[in-house]
Amino acid sequence: MSNFEQKLTEMLRPSVEMTGVELLGLEFISAGNNSVLRLYIDHENGIDVDNCAEVSRQVSAILDVEDPISSEYNLEVSSPGVDRPLFTKPQYEQVIGETVEVKLGMPLNGRRKFKGILEAIEGDNLIVVVDGQDYELPVSNIDKGNLIAKF
């Protein structure tokens, strides 16, 4: 998560959680006039359209006042879906033993994408087993991570 995304998360989390849902994280995809600010929310009883609409109203009001994004963008509020995005170390801790896909900001051993079993977390590193080989992936270098659903 970028510093900008971290600042947006800190700014928006209190208002999102006032609606009774959890802000898992957000991503800002910069694409000129087609930029997107996507928030992922969750609740123990699931997320419905009303939850998304309420969060959208709350967040829109804050973004209108604070105006942290200078370009045009679309706001999207979503449940985490099947391939749940992972944003924080505690979220990774909850899925130890599961298959994850991680994209690093800076390459490690010449590669940026890793898909395998999250074996453990040691300090600030994820231990991901890919094709029988352990990789230590620094949490601070993760650009994007997802839990891969089992079918």
pLDDT (tens digit per residue) in 10-56: 999 999 999 999 999 999 999 988 999 999 999 999 999 999 999 99
What domain range includes position 24? 3-78
Q: Which of 78, 95, 129 is the last residue of a domain?
A: 78
Q: Is the pLDDT of residue 1 over 80?
A: no
If asked whether residues 17 and 65 sit together in one domain, one would say yes
User: Residue 17's pLDDT is what?
Assistant: 95
User: Residue 33's pLDDT is what?
Assistant: 85
Contact criterion met (CB below 8 Å) for 8 and 24: no
Q: Could you give the number of structural domains in the chain? A: 2
Compute the Cα dihedral for 134, 139, 143, 106 and give only its sign. Answer: negative
pLDDT (tens digit per residue) in 63-81: 999 999 988 999 999 999 9
CA distance 122 to 136: 9
Quickly state the pLDDT bin for 151 (edges 50, 70, 90): confident
Q: Is the pLDDT of residue 5 over 80?
A: yes
Q: Which of 22, 53, 78 is the last residue of a domain?
A: 78
What are the φ/ψ torsions at residue 118 (nearest 5 degrees)?
Answer: -75, 100
- CATH number of the domain within which 22 lies: 3.30.300.70
CA distance 25 to 21: 12
